[in-house]
Chain A
Amino acid sequence: QVQLQESGPGLVKPSGTLSLTCTISGGSIISSHWWTWVRQPPGKGPEWIGDTFHSGNTNYNPSLKSRVTISVDKSKNQFSLKLSSVTAADTAVYYCASHAVTGTDWFDPWGQGTLVTVSS
């Protein structure tokens, strides 16, 4: 069964770049699913950041598109998130998830999440 695990720095300075990696185990990144990043600020609802397919195709949240890059590393069975010019408003738990989209639309499974704090 597919499992996802986020990794990366838990603290990023304002104006810096947030970088996270999601490692897929128990399955291949080369599948019909897309691979997603979702974030959840403390006490708030989830916010979809964007998706990538194993081909490198991407979809991004329009509100974050200018600052987001999601990429795939098939050799490592990983996909990554980069969010530039971060501010305190980007402080959140960041989740990676598998996104089923062929004639359907839902997220499962999810990683456990990783808290990223933007602070000097």
Chain B
Amino acid sequence: AQTVTQSQPEMSVQEAETVTLSCTYDTSESDYYLFWYKQPPSRQMILVIRQEAYKQQNATENRFSVNFQKAAKSFSLKISDSQLGDAAMYFCAYRSAVTKAAGNKLTFGGGTRVLVKP
């Protein structure tokens, strides 16, 4: 079974600064997808960024970028130019690419709370 670990329960960042969230995962599969989700205090989970394991190029979405290290099974999220609206819980998630067997199941880490100081 796959596991996802987020070792930082909470991270604090000054507005306009950069913060990096860590995520490691354990899997025996070679093809899979990785995601970062944001859950603001209003609770609705929003997809921030995604990465396919077979792509070496790191994904980028505006101020959000990832550092995907497949051999190390590491998938960190960098938030640049942090804004007050970035304050939320951030979850790293794994999904197998073996669609029929695993369906759409997401395996989540325990989350990292991001605090943004004005």
Q: Do the two chains belong together in a single complex?
A: no
Binding site for B on A (CB under 8 A): none
Binding site for A on B (CB under 8 A): none
